[in-house]
A and B are shown apart, each in its own frame.
Chain A
């Protein structure tokens, strides 16, 4: 505990440091602070991180994985652009981070996780991260936390249009077009993003050597070859259409429909000695998500309803051709089709400034058809029985009461109940409290605690072979406590927060081998204790001469420890950090703007990650720590009918050789150039 206290103190000191650095000349101004806004009732005790719009709008080539890496304490496990990117929140598994888009769940009902590389950050207008217990207000099962993503009505009245083109290293092209209109009643926004890349970056392969031979074919030498990333080409297409209507009576309707179509190569491992003529892995995905919503205020009551639909067609193929003659045969052809219907009703009632009552109910109906089409039963000559078809109804009911008895203090209680198929989770309670410690500096203490449950995914229950229909939900118990402060003066703003958290997850679902060769099955076995500290700083200041400085940084210390029983006497994983969870992670994005110039710098750090549960320190047991530095310079040119913006980005500024995941070298120094055209329409 003492150690945690020291780390909390360090985080606060870090915050102080940045405050001094970014506003050194404005000490006097910071002294004359005012309380930054009124604390909303909805946020009593809630640990929430809102992703800065500058991070979301960094580049059209950025995915939400990039934005989360830079703007939050989540660890994103990824091995480059357009590759599976999953989140670990406070040391938990990817399926413990629940994600909603305009209120509808995005997590795959089959896998439980979200691939954040498939969400372009330019398609998200608002992104908020709810840490630990705070996720209960969003959905159940967020043992690590929850992320809400939303689109919103265009800000600008009348017509607006923006076109951005990007050209980058490794034959990468990005095209983005947004056309929007905002009127008194009607608004519309259309976004289109197309990205293609050969993604064939060069790297020195330290995992597999090239051998030189003599005339007799004997090996006489070896070296680490300079090779290209193989089979990593991708093509992504996204289309998002939104419509908004606001009636004179105050009804607000919206429709958001997002279609994505991707075709991605999955790069070969660095030690793979097959060539792309002999082996290829591809993943194709087509997804449609659509949400229709309505809400309205009736005095102190706000009511709303949503309906939605998701269609997801995912196909993973591995093909081989040992002769390299272009005659590929499928080795794996795993295909999944998921239909999901969604409905939600919600109401909030605030009788006065002291009380807020909220309730909502969400329902998802999934229909899944999944299996490997390549597997032929040699005894019958027909397709093998690896397919499963399942339907599942999920219901999540929520009620909340928030009370602020005195202006300095707020307390809140959430209660959630979930049903999946013919089973239910126990009640999910969460309690929140906050206390305004000091008006000067707006120092608020926050604490929250929750019991939470995550029920098994459809693959956990029904995957063929190996699914286990008798699985129980994973059980979580979490608390956190923290302090945050918001300072604001005429030209400067500073927001600091530091949080300690502690979670215990029991009955963690783990896939383990069975007595039958090659068959794995999930069981409720693991107990995990994760605890740590998170710190965040957001600062901005501007000078009378037109300079503007802004910084957004975060730091996390995460211990995620296996506290389960030993598998056998030989088990050395108990008491060790879980695999691929860094103990330390940090990021800082700093921007300097002057007139029409913007210079931004992005720094990111992950400490080493273990790849073995016993935390072996050998070359196969860990991925070394790495630091990444990116630099971007942007210049806007104003014309009478057009704003033209040019932006150059350098990634991996120091040309580092590194891996983020074992066997997956990352690109070295590379660059992109973007040109953005924004016509100026004569709007009324």
Chain B
């Protein structure tokens, strides 16, 4: 007993000296992964500073988590919103940290930063000298010169604060305005001005363009208005079709397959429909199994489908990989709240 007391006392003295503190520099790890694969941005919890980046190789079925942290010895930040690959560089948009990190897609090391964007959401390359950044709170699109990573100008969005996904078609960029909005805005890339707009349903949350050159958006709906999928002719800004869904199944995460002719989306289940369909499919591609799907991606080379499950939103999320016929292929555990997929092609 005496020994026990002495040991306990000794332990307390050690604690008193702060012997167990371990907050400090993070080790840096050397990666060189040149194979094709998929980056998964894991949002993390808002204001918890726990966003992360995962990389998955579908051939070896290996997943590497927190690669940004491990490669750079620093955190990715707060709310990793999206990632874009262009010209051999990865652009990771970290929404609540106000930064877009430019990373080497093989080593995951930072090669550049884009700052002075308060709440960035998505990045779109217009050409080799120009990239647009949408923003959750700034009623402007920020124009970046990717050669210098500097801001070149800002395009006024006429008060529309929540710009989201962008699509380039010819000399026009289309952008959906999500939060408390119902517009698709049109930017002329030659003049860098807002030139037109289209009213759709309440809170358009996604935007893609199919192989026929049609725009698709999905709206949340609200009291008195059903959530819906919208097919739009971008040239005339006419709504060609509107597919209504039940109020408890708002569509989101619009994604196109490798041919850009089949549209995937989450509406409780995961659905797939041809872009020339005149009605919603009768059966889902992947039925709801008690999991609220949070992210969706389709491999542009293989057509394989990746579905993210954030589980309880406070633990390592899970990504399920399916063949394009819906056969389960793999399950991988990633970071907190996996939200978007970015496919790396050699």
Contacts and interface: CB of A to CB of B under 8 A. Distances in A.
Interface of A: 10, 13-14, 16-17, 206-209, 211, 217-219, 222, 224, 269-274, 278-279, 320-324, 329, 331, 375-379, 384, 510, 512-518, 567-573, 579, 603, 605, 611-614, 616, 618-621, 624-627, 629, 654, 656-659, 662-664
B224 interface: no
B198 to A, nearest CB: 13
A374 to B, nearest CB: 9
Contacts of B267: 515
B312 A662 contact: no
Nearest to A568: B291
A206 B18 contact: no
Contacts of A384: 180
Contacts of A279: 98, 118
B137 A579 contact: no
B278 to A, nearest CB: 25
A207 B75 contact: yes
A573 B310 CA distance: 12
Interface in B145-190: 148-149, 154, 159-161, 177-183
Contact of A658 (B21, B113, B115): B21
A513 B18 contact: no
The SS class assigned to the A binding surface is: loop
B138 A322 contact: yes
A15 to B, nearest CB: 11
Contact of B69 (A272, A376, A605, A620): A620
B50 A513 contact: no
Contact of A271 (B4, B18, B97): B97
B16 A567 contact: no
Given A378-B183, A515-B248, A207 B49 contact: yes
A38 to B, nearest CB: 33
B315 A206 contact: no
Contact of A273 (B21, B73, B115): B115
Contacts of B316: 572, 612, 614, 616
B268 interface: yes
Nearest to B221: A516
Closest 3 pairs between A and B when the two form their complex, measured CB to CB: A663-B49, A274-B98, A614-B315
A658 B309 contact: no
A621 to B, nearest CB: 8
Given A17-B5, A568-B311, A662-B49, A625 B98 contact: no
B20 interface: yes
Interface stretch (B22-30, B83-91, B228-236, B298-306): B22-30
Interface in B292-346: 292, 294, 309-318, 331, 333, 335-336
A278 B118 contact: yes
Contacts of B44: 620
Contacts of B113: 211, 273
Contacts of B94: 271
A7 to B, nearest CB: 12
Interface string B116-128: 1111000000000
A624 B98 contact: no
Contacts of A570: 291, 309, 311, 317-318, 331, 333
Nearest to B115: A273
B77 A273 contact: yes
Contacts of A611: 48, 50, 314
A624 B315 contact: no
B159 A269 contact: no
Contacts of A603: 15-16
Given A206-B25, A209-B73, A612-B316, A629 B16 contact: yes
16 contacts: A13-B1, A13-B5, A269-B77, A270-B75, A273-B99, A278-B118, A378-B181, A513-B313, A516-B250, A517-B252, A568-B309, A570-B331, A571-B312, A572-B316, A603-B16, A605-B15
A118 to B, nearest CB: 20
A16 B1 CA distance: 11
Nearest to B199: A379
A518 B23 contact: no
Contacts of A375: 179-180
B260 interface: no
Contacts of B117: 322
A517 B267 CA distance: 11
B315 A572 contact: yes
A443 B203 CA distance: 66
Given A217-B149, A269-B49, A620 B23 contact: no
B23 A613 contact: no
A211 B137 CA distance: 27
Contacts of A514: 292
Contacts of A270: 49, 75
Given A322-B116, A611-B50, A206 B69 contact: no
A654 B21 CA distance: 11
Contact of A657 (B8, B23, B98, B331): B23
A525 B291 CA distance: 15
A14 B180 contact: no
Contacts of A10: 8
Given A208-B75, A218-B111, A378 B182 contact: yes
B23 A624 contact: yes
A605 B154 CA distance: 50
B60 interface: no
B72 interface: yes
Nearest to A273: B99
B110 A219 contact: yes
Contacts of A331: 118-119, 137
Contact of A619 (B18, B26, B140): B26
Contact of A627 (B18, B73, B159, B336): B18
Contacts of B21: 624-627, 656-658
Contacts of B315: 571-573, 612-614, 616
B96 interface: yes
A658 B21 CA distance: 7
B47 to A, nearest CB: 7
B257 interface: no
B274 interface: no
Given A209-B73, A278-B118, A567-B312, 16 more contacts: A17-B9, A217-B149, A271-B94, A273-B98, A273-B115, A274-B118, A320-B138, A514-B292, A515-B248, A567-B291, A613-B312, A620-B75, A626-B18, A626-B21, A662-B48, A663-B48
